[in-house]
């Protein structure tokens, strides 16, 4: 059974399924999306070599039937659909299949097209354009690292050489699984009095290093998504400032690879509530 819902940025929503008044007849574009290949050729060689590929925007078409109790209600439904699918507003399409529900961000490519009505029934075509062609789970995944709170210290060994033995911080590792079809970015939020943050994806070798102290009243946020890359510091009063300078030059805006990822986290804390929150969502090529 297929069901679909659309929610615009004003919070207005509409639901399509097998029951009146808004019956989902078909939905196109949930799987296929065109690809641009970046190729190059060399002298005296047949064909071309593929350098990389890029997905184009996704087009989704909903074919629906509006079934009303009478002619007046039919035109009320038509007006309601036109108000929901407003080209001036962005929105989210949710699509339910036997394999679960996924969502995709969308805009209106053209206003809804209504056929000639017959009594209390009319067919409606809704054309959506999805600049980001990936489908996502309805809810993001989360994981929280709790920073060690015991400070490093050293003590002398009972030897004649006056040697010292130092105790530092034990790193924390965890396995995170990316069940999507491609790599996916991370959103990080650091809270509590903490310094010398180091997060590494041992699977890919990428890491983020912050060699500064984050005060217990401040929050550091890092977004590694393309087009949204950000390192910002949020003060207690809510003021937000660019903090890209806090990240070491050899750091990367790391991603989760497809499948299992092993993440290693190390930091120092002078607060009992220091945490590193991770947030991500799986990206699907089609549903």
Domains identified in the chain and CATH numbers: 3-135 (2.40.30.200), 141-284 (2.60.120.860)
Spatial separation of the C-alpha atoms in residues 227 and 214, rounded to whole Å:
25
Spatial separation of the C-alpha atoms in residues 21 and 283, rounded to whole Å:
32
The set of residues, in sequence order, having a beta carbon less than 8 Å from that of 113 and lying 6+ positions away, is 124, 125, 126, 127
Mean pLDDT of 236-256: 95
Global confidence as pTM: 0.85
Element of type H or E holding 96 = strand 91-97
pLDDT at position 270: 67
Among residues 95, 129, 139, 125, the alpha carbon closest in space to that of 286 is found at 95
Spatial separation of the C-alpha atoms in residues 287 and 280, rounded to whole Å:
19
pLDDT at position 158: 52
* Mean confidence (pLDDT) of the chain: 90
Residue 213 CB neighbour total at 10 angstroms: 15
pLDDT in tens, 83-133: 999 999 999 999 999 999 999 999 999 999 999 888 899 999 999 999 999
Query: Is the model more confident about 134 or about 150?
Result: 134
Mean pLDDT of 162-173: 53
Alpha helices in 28-155 (DSSP H): 71-84
Q: How confident is the model at residue 44 (pLDDT cuts 50, 70, 90)?
A: confident
pLDDT exceeds cutoff 90 at 40: no
SS3 state at 97: strand
pLDDT at position 148: 62
> Range with the lowest mean pLDDT among 110-119, 143-152, 213-222?
143-152
């Amino acid at each position: 059974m297929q069901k679909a819902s659309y929610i615009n940025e004003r919070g207005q929503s509409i639901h399509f399924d097998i029951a009146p008044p808004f019956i989902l007849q078909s939905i196109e574009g949930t799987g296929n999306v065109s690809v641009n290949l970046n190729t190059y050729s060399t002298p005296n060689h047949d064909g071309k070599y593929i350098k990389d590929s890029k997905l184009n925007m996704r087009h989704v078409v909903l074919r629906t039937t509006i079934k009303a109790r009478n002619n007046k209600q039919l035109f009320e439904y038509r007006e309601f659909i036109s108000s929901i699918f407003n080209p001036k507003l962005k929105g989210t399409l949710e699509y339910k299949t036997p394999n679960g529900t996924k969502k995709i961000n969308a805009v209106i490519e053209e206003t809804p097209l209504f056929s000639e009505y017959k009594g209390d029934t009319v067919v409606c075509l809704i054309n959506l354009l999805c600049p980001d062609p990936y489908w996502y789970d309805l809810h993001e995944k989360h994981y929280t690292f709790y920073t060690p709170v015991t400070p490093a210290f050293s003590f002398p060994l009972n030897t004649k050489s006056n040697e010292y033995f130092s105790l530092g911080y034990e790193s924390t590792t965890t396995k995170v699984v990316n069940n999507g079809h491609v790599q996916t970015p991370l959103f990080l939020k650091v809270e509590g009095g903490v310094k010398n943050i180091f997060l590494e994806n041992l699977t890919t070798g990428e890491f983020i290093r912050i060699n500064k102290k984050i005060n217990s009243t401040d929050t550091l946020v890092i977004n590694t998504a393309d087009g949204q890359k950000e390192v910002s510091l949020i003060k207690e009063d809510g003021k937000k400032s660019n903090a890209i300078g806090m990240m070491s030059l050899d750091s990367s805006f790391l991603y989760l690879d497809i499948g299992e990822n092993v993440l290693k986290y190390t930091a120092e804390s002078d607060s009992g509530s220091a945490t590193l929150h991770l947030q991500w969502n799986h990206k699907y090529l089609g549903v």
